[in-house]
A and B are shown apart, each in its own frame.
Chain A
Amino acid sequence: MVTRRQFLKHAGATAALLGLSEAMIPQLAKALEQLSTSGKPPIIWIQGQNCTGCSISFLNSNYPGVAEVVLDKLSVRYHPNVMGGTGQTAIQAINDTVAAAKAGKGIYVLVVEGPIPLSENGDYCSFGLSDTKKKNLDGTSVQVPGDKTVHEWMQELVPGAAAVIANGNCASFGGIPAANASVTGSTKVSDIVAQIDPKKPMVNVGGCPSHPDWFLGTALQALIALKVLPGGKPLDLNSNLMSKTFFGQLIHENCERRAAFDAGLFLEDWNDQNPDMKLCMFKQGCKGPVTYADCPTRRWNSAVNWCVGANGPCHGCASPEFYKDLSPLYQPLPNVNFAGISPSTDVLGWVAAGATAVGVGAHYLYKQLGSKPEEAEGGEK
């Protein structure tokens, strides 16, 4: 029998490793304690117009490792990449979970990876067989069941879900597939959910891909906040429905190369770099000044590295504007006028980015001119 003390210790470790606030530990402990009696919270993880990058990133989870997550923390009822079942045995896992929730015997959280296409009746993305539609196979006269679109799945699964988590940038905001929305009608998950049930608890996890801690931490926060488990407190979300724990601070403010930016030391040529002198990636298009995420402190892949650590610019993949409104990715942010940098201001609209970028410029000028700037407007969203 695990004691309450052990639970507190375990919960504390999990919270600390995910970088959650220490203040969350009592809630998390209570939640985990509850799990030991009532079982693990069921997850149904479906995929829309995805690339599976967020699932692969989830497999990179480090402390807790993914085996621990699947065995001890979440009951993964449906996940197309890891589950044992195929075809109807896979669909059965969904049906059983939904039926149990309907009968009041448990809940489920719906995780969606990838946006949902609506053009052509949603036929640009489907999985499983339709109960009503039929189709013919070429070369035979045999009629077989038609395809069930992911939009039909959303209509079936959202109403009974305790909450919906859009995992990754394209599920949350449309991302790269929505850059082509005119063809397939890619639609972000929150819009679909709002059409089905505007009151359904909904949270976005940004990133292309999402960081495993972002997903897991947000999922735990959501389970506690939704009072799926006792001791809940409201989720602290920003205006994009993302957890402020992970998406609350500008990358630029916490960047390990901020000193190089302030000193005007920019990487111009990848051969010039001195391994001991980390140069700022701003001139190579870094979107850190307009992207809210904790990459600089959390880092990626068991904290081995992150994009800027590898002399690459931040492409702003956790930002709702990624990709379409942050392109061109390797051109410096516009509307920033200081020595050596004069990008054309007509590169793009930068509607969301512009105000913050002015703040960056003012800060830089302050360093150059030795006078204090007026409070940088829009420096913080």
Chain B
Amino acid sequence: MAQVISIDPVTRIEGHLRIDVEVSNGVVTDAWSSGTMFRGYEMLIQGKHPWDAQQVMERICGVCPLVHGTAASYSLDSAMGVKLPNNARLIRNLALGANFIQSHILHFYHLVALDYVDVTAVLKYTGADPALKLLQANIAVLAKNNDLYPFLPRYASPDYIGEPGGPGDANLATELVGHYVQAFEMRKKAQEMLTIYYGRMPSFVGTIPGGVTTPPTLSNIAAFRSRLHDLQAWIADVYVADVKAIATMPAYSAFIKAGDSGGNFIAYGGMDENQSGSEKYFPSGVIENYKLTPSAFNNQQIAESVKYSYYNDSTEGLKPAVGKTEPQVTKSGAYSFLKAPRYNGKPMEVGPLARQLVKKDPVFMALAAALGVLTPPVKFGIIPRIGARAVETLLVALEMDKWLDQLTLGIGSDIWDPKGKQIPNSSNGMGLVEGPRGALGHWITISGGKTGNYQAVVPTTWNASPRDKSGIRGPIETSLIGIPVPDVNNPINVVRCVRSFDPCLACAVHIIHPENNSVKEFRVV
């Protein structure tokens, strides 16, 4: 018998997310993704000084302020006709890279790992590592006090690493918990590295319209590089190794293909490799219907559907540059405050998996082949999504050395184009970047020297979008269909799948369910 289960709150993500799934015979047959918070950031900077846009928009999300602030800088640059100095381009790349590192480490260890590892297995550790024995003693005190928060309570499942009868053993689980603790320090170090040029994290001042604020010096390059090298080693030896260990466990082999979002992927491209931005470290491209040869990305093909979103129907199908945010909380038939962006009419997955499939980095393609992902039927499930993120972290970290080498010191090493301060009376700008969670675009219109319209289309809006005007589900909704749920009281696999996308809701999903909206438009699927 079909049964609908409601999961709220979905924790260990950013923001307020609710997932409802219909389960029949132990498998998900339908899914609804709903965020439960709305602020309307785009509305509150209208009429303000355009430079405010960057400081306000970076605060749209405390997990990804760096990418929002950077996208805002690029959109303001383009509105003001800025020619970005070489050093500014490189420092923005380095900041983006440092943010990839901190965000991806945070995601795997602090948001995802507790779905796979039994923390209480540490109590049964039999190894001799002094740090792990100390950790064991620490957890033992918590267990004695019956205070294993925040790790317990959690969903029960027979396949946690270290659980009796589960994969791996207590010693492996303890090592992973030890890495969970180390990861706090490592992601903190990546944040510190970023602040060398940007002042502080989260929320920073280091990028401005026209360039950046801190010139490269021998000492700040050295301070940056020394942290970068620590991180490179840890990512390779610990993060990538842990992901590979989990990815190849037979207990999780179903997750290699389960959790597929439908075969459409998009990357806007990011991290400019030359001054014009014509070459990028992450190329742009579009993959449709599993056809792994990407077609060219054309931003004019993006439009947002609002049929199932709490926005005025008059805003249906608008392109982001002329998009509108007009909340209508009593709209019948709507179930999400998230819009449904579509490219050429199709839902698109964005993020590390999309970027790696477009870029086809040999390191990732080798991992995908080893996992059997590319063997028909080609499906990209939970494990390849997590694997792409780990591989990408290492590749970006290694690339950053090159950008450090290219920085120019001394006279004539500009970091800022003063055109950034010359606010035109009217202009338009667009800033596209790749953030840890995927393709991000900011669009600004300047009128009367003030911010007019401002729209952000963000990664989680792509991934967690509701159904569109044709009734086609968003990527997360699609990915949930077919996910095994052997125990409806403990739907761990549903949240494993949702978390593999690294959803970040603050900037993306805005849904409300007003009480007076009891009469809804039903649709048969």
Give me the interface of A with B, judged by CB distance under 8 Å.
39-40, 42, 47, 49-57, 59-60, 62, 65-67, 70-72, 75-87, 89-93, 117, 120-121, 123-129, 133, 135-142, 144-147, 176-177, 179-180, 183-184, 186, 208-209, 269-271, 273, 275, 300-302, 304-313, 315, 317, 323, 327-331
Contact A81 B111 (CB under 8 A): yes
Pairs across A and B, CB under 8 Å, 22 listed: A51-B61, A52-B15, A53-B61, A59-B187, A76-B149, A81-B110, A120-B512, A123-B329, A123-B513, A124-B512, A135-B518, A136-B520, A138-B520, A146-B513, A147-B36, A176-B44, A208-B59, A270-B208, A271-B414, A300-B195, A305-B198, A330-B51
The reply to whether A327 and B39 form a contact with Cβ atoms under 8 Å apart is no
Segment 176-225 of B: residues with Cβ below 8 Å from A: 181, 184-185, 187-188, 191-192, 195-206, 208, 210-215, 217
Question: A87: which of B10, B61, B202, B524 is its contact (CB, 8 Å)?
Answer: B10
Given contacts A180-B44, A271-B414, A327-B49, is CB(A56)–CB(B199) below 8 Å?
A: no
Is A51 a contact partner of B40 (Cβ separation < 8 A)? no
Note all chain B residues with C-beta closer than 8 A to A140: 4, 22, 30, 522
For the complex formed, measure the closest distance between the CB of B508 and the CB atoms of chain A, giving whole angstroms.
12
Bound form: Cα–Cα A317–B196 in Å: 20
CA distance A315 to B65 in the complex (A): 16
Interface secondary structure of B, over-half rule: loop
Expressed in whole angstroms, the Cα–Cα distance for A290 and B160 within the complex equals 53
B495 within 8 A of partner (CB): yes
User: With the chains together, A330 CA to B210 CA distance in Å?
Assistant: 14
Out of A49, A84, A127, A177, which one reaches B8, CB within 8 Å? A127
* Residue among A79, A90, A142, A145 with most chain B CB within 10 A: A90
Chain B residues in contact with chain A, CB under 8 A? 4, 6-16, 18, 20, 22, 30, 32, 36-41, 43-44, 48-49, 51-52, 55-56, 59-63, 65, 106, 110-111, 114, 119, 138-139, 142, 145, 147, 149-155, 181, 184-185, 187-188, 191-192, 195-206, 208, 210-215, 217, 308, 327, 329, 333, 335, 414-416, 418, 467, 491, 495, 506-507, 512-515, 517-518, 520-525
Partner of A53, one of B40, B59, B333, B418: B59
Which of A42, A66, A137, A328 is B184 in contact with, Cβ under 8 Å?
A66
Q: Evaluate contact between A302 and B192: CB separation under 8 angstroms.
A: yes
Contact, CB under 8 Å: A133 / B515: yes
B307 to chain A, nearest CB (A): 10
Instruction: Tell whether, in the assembled complex, residue A183 and residue B415 are in contact, meaning their CB atoms are under 8 Å apart.
Output: no
- Nearest-CB residue, chain A, relative to B148: A84
Number of A-B contacts (CB under 8 A): 306
Which residues of chain B have C-beta atoms less than 8 A from A329's C-beta? 49, 51-52, 55
Q: Which residues of B contact A126 (CB under 8 A)?
A: 16, 36-37, 512
Chain B residues within 8 Å of A311, by CB: 205, 213-214
Instruction: Taking A90-B9, A301-B201, A310-B205 as given, write out 17 further A-B residue pairs in contact, using a Cβ cutoff of 8 Å, ordered by the A residue number.
Output: A40-B145, A51-B60, A53-B202, A56-B202, A85-B154, A123-B329, A123-B514, A123-B515, A124-B37, A125-B36, A179-B44, A184-B38, A270-B415, A312-B213, A323-B52, A327-B48, A328-B52
- Measured between beta carbons, the chain B residues less than 8 angstroms from A85 are 11, 150, 152-155
Q: Is the CB of B37 within 8 A of A139?
A: no
Q: How far is the CA of A49 from the CA of B515 in the complex (A)?
A: 19
Asked if B9 contacts A53 (CB within 8 A), the reply is no
Contact present for A71 and B138 (CB under 8 Å): yes
Contact partner of B62 (CB less than 8 A), chosen from A54, A121, A183, A308, is A54
Q: In this complex, what residue of A is CB-closest to B57?
A: A176
Complex CA–CA separation, A300 to B201 (angstroms)? 8
Q: Is the CB of A144 within 8 A of B523?
A: no
Looking at B187, B416, B513, the one whose CB has the most chain A CB atoms below 10 A away is B513
Inside 8 A of A93's CB, which chain B residues have their CB? Answer: 149-150, 153
- Select B188's contact among A40, A52, A59, A75, beta carbons within 8 Å: A59
A57 contacts B62, C-beta separation under 8 Å: yes
Residues of A within 8 A of B512 (CB): 120, 123-124, 126, 147
Complex Cα–Cα for A144 and B335 (A): 13
Q: Is the CB of B199 within 8 A of A121?
A: no
With a cutoff of 8 Å between Cβ atoms, the chain B residues found around residue A301 in the complex are 188, 191-192, 195, 200-201
For the complex, what is the distance from the CA of A232 to the CA of B106, rounded to whole Å? 37
Q: A49-B39, A51-B59 are in contact. Are A60 and B4 (CB under 8 A)?
A: no
Please give me the residue from chain A that is nearest to B418 by CB atom.
Answer: A269
Q: What CA separation (Å) do A117 and B38 show in the bound complex?
A: 9
CA distance A262 to B184 in the complex (A): 41
Residue in B20, B205, B415 whose CB lies within 8 Å of A137 = B20
Identity of the chain A residue whose Cβ is nearest the Cβ of B210 in the assembled complex: A270
Q: Which residue of A lies closest to B504 (CB)?
A: A52
B200:A144 contact, CB within 8 angstroms: no
Residues of B within 8 A of A273 (CB): 215
